[in-house]
Amino acid sequence: MSFYECLKSFPEGSDSPSRLALVAKRLGWQGIIICNEDPRRIFRIDAAEKVKDISISVGAEVTAPNARALRSRVFSLRARYPFITVRGETEELIRAACEDANVDLLLLGQAWRPLGIAQARAAEQNQIAIGFDLSPLIRLRGSSRSRWMEVAKRNLELARKFDLSMAITSRARSHLDMRSPRALVALAEVVGFEHSEAEEALKLPARLVALNRRNWIGPGVELL
């Protein structure tokens, strides 16, 4: 099973890619995707690629002040990176991401507003996967965590209704924040995921990376 985790590395995280790769390998991951907002500034990605028995990919996490800037940023990154994720912090950005077929994954983490039906329908039409950042489940306590779980469960129900692909992540910024695939599956089950759903969610990033690395010369046409 190809379980992949999406991580932040230095300078946007605390650790180098090679440190993250070594810890991920020990925890049982088959691959990691470094998703910094500025992939050009990732520190020593070449050293991480020398770690044996684990796949290293570079993606990009996109955030922007408005929808127009978001679309421009996603378009500029699409040809260069095999994995594009958008951090949905506002309703405007979530809607823009769901309407952009160049986006691979819409990451819903600490957003307190549930995904809307119109947004879910747009995500279905454009084949946008929904990402569940489970770090609030680890960090938050009391009523804040309860409110976050209510929103996460609502988003899960909507993703099921529209048959959207789903991913889960700890979005770790340090090797100390990383969790094993088994631990993430357990956390996802607390939110409401079925065990099989959680395992498939851990496999999704690997499938998206493999798909985007293929040489498409047109819609449905691949150069072999």
- Could you report the per-residue pLDDT of 50-98, keeping only the tens digit for each? 999 999 999 999 989 999 999 999 999 998 999 999 988 888 999 999 9
- CATH code where residue 95 lies: 3.20.20.140
Question: How high is the pLDDT of residue 108?
Answer: 81
Listed in sequence order, the DSSP H helices in the chain are 17-27, 45-48, 67-78, 91-98, 117-126, 135-139, 142-161, 181-191, 195-213
Question: How high is the pLDDT of residue 90?
Answer: 85
Q: How far apart are CA 165 and CA 124, in angstroms?
A: 9
Residue ranges of the chain with pLDDT lower than 50? 217
Structure tokens at 221: 């046409």
Angle of the 142-161 helix axis to the 181-191 helix axis, nearest 10: 90
Question: How high is the pLDDT of residue 88?
Answer: 84
Question: How high is the pLDDT of residue 223?
Answer: 52
Q: What is the biggest distance separating any 2 CA atoms in the chain, rounded to whole angstroms? A: 54
Range of the domain at 14: 4-222
Question: How high is the pLDDT of residue 198?
Answer: 97
- Structurally, the chain folds into a number of domains equal to 1
Question: How high is the pLDDT of residue 106?
Answer: 95
Structure tokens at 183: 């631990």
